């Protein structure tokens, strides 16, 4: 199979790349990023791109699976409008290009608490992105809703480190309905995305369809 990845320099995306390289089902893995990874493999192809010119790369979307792991923070984006352009507008644009150019399945990373009517701006944007992607009309759409992500990031996110410091020691207490709030390893999320991408559609006749996860 062939896969296309966006956000390969991020926490989940970088892990996803390594998992797909090891997965014998994938013979071609293409990365479209602002900056290439220092990684080479016979099945890996990388392109440094300008996201304002995505139409130039529409042929790259003719793959089995498109994985979108893009995401930022309001602090890094500088303001809410800039945040929305990445976590909503860009994600939806990628979904549309996937739909228009023959992608078999579009998968993306959302967030715990995502809801289009949330009073919390971050959760509201994530929820609106989920809703907007479904409205694109892709044959298959999946998203994951991880809680606090664990793993080594290339960029510093002090807020997440503080959250990890306080939450990780109490993860074992989060059971039952509270399990979804427990911190989760990026590798677990990335592997779940691959599992969803390769899950057979059983008993589902109406498209589009979606699956969501929180924690595992």
In the prediction, which pLDDT does 166 show? 45
What average pLDDT does the segment 149-162 reach?
60
Residue 120 pLDDT > 60, yes or no? yes
Q: How confident is the model at residue 182 (pLDDT cuts 50, 70, 90)?
A: confident
The residues, any chain, with a CB within 8 Å of residue 70's CB and separated by 6 or more, are 6, 7, 10, 13, 86, 87, 90, 91, 94, 108, 109
Q: Is residue 105 a part of any domain in this protein?
A: yes
Does residue 63 belong to any structural domain of this protein?
yes
Give me the number of domains the chain comprises. Answer: 1
Name the nearest CA neighbour of 29 among 190, 146, 215: 190
pLDDT of residue 151: 79
159, part of any domain = no
Q: Which of 28, 57, 85, 122 is catalytic?
A: 122
Q: Dump pLDDT digits (tens) for 15-57.
A: 999 999 999 999 999 999 999 999 999 999 999 999 999 999 9
- In the chain, the percentage of residues whose pLDDT exceeds 70 is 79
Residue-number span of the structural domain to which 91 is assigned:
2-147+185-197
Strand partners, 209: 140
Count of alpha carbons within 13 angstroms of residue 178, beta-carbon side: 7
Lowest pLDDT segment from 14-28, 129-143, 163-177, 184-198: 163-177
Q: Catalytic site residue 181?
A: no
Q: Does the pLDDT value for residue 172 go beyond 90?
A: no
122 annotated active-site: yes
Contact criterion met (CB below 8 Å) for 149 and 160? yes
**Which of 215 and 146 is assigned the larger pLDDT?**
146
**CATH code for the domain of 34:** 3.40.50.720
Identify whether 100 is part of a domain.
Answer: yes
Residue of 2, 26, 96, 126 with catalytic role: 126
Q: What is the pLDDT at residue 158?
A: 55
Q: Do you find a cis peptide bond into 119, omega within 30 degrees of 0?
A: no
Is 171 inside any structural domain?
no
pLDDT at 92 over 60: yes
This prediction's pTM: 0.84
Q: Is the pLDDT at 175 greater than 60, yes or no? A: no
Dihedral sign for Cα atoms in the order 117, 120, 121, 122: negative
Q: Rounded to an integer, what distance in angstroms lies between the CA atom of residue 214 and that of residue 216?
A: 7
Residue 216, domain member (yes or no):
no
Asked if residue 129 belongs to a domain, the reply is yes
**For residue 34, what pLDDT is reported?**
92
In the structure, what pLDDT confidence band is assigned to residue 201 with cuts at 50, 70 and 90? Answer: low
Distance CA 82, CA 116 (A): 18
User: Which whole number is the average pLDDT over 151-179?
Assistant: 52
Report helix, strand or coil for 153.
Answer: coil
Q: Is residue 6 part of a domain?
A: yes
- Count other C-beta atoms under 10 Å from residue 62's C-beta: 14
Query: Residue written as tokens 């926490």?
Result: 11
Segment 146-169 mean pLDDT: 60
Please give the pLDDT value at position 108: 96
């Amino acid at each position: 199979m062939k896969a296309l990845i966006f956000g390969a320099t991020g926490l989940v995306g970088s892990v996803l790349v390594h998992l797909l390289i090891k997965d014998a089902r994938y013979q071609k893995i293409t990365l479209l990023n602002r900056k290439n990874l220092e990684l080479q493999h016979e099945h890996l192809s990388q392109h440094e791109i300008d996201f304002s010119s995505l139409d130039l790369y529409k042929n790259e979307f003719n793959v089995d699976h498109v994985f979108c792991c893009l995401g930022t923070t309001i602090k890094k984006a500088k303001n809410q409008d800039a945040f929305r352009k990445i976590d909503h507008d860009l994600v939806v644009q990628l979904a549309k290009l996937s739909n228009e150019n023959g992608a078999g399945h579009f998968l993306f990373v959302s967030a715990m608490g995502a809801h289009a009517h949330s009073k919390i701006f971050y959760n509201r944007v994530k929820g609106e992105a989920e809703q907007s992607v479904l409205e694109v009309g892709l044959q298959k759409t999946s998203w994951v809703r991880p809680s606090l992500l664990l793993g080594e990031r290339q960029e510093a996110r002090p807020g997440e480190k503080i959250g990890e410091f306080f939450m990780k020691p109490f993860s074992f207490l989060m059971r039952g309905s509270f399990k979804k709030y427990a911190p989760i390893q990026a590798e677990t999320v990335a592997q779940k995305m691959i599992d969803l991408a390769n899950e057979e559609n059983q008993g589902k006749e109406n498209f589009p369809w979606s699956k969501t996860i929180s924690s595992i």
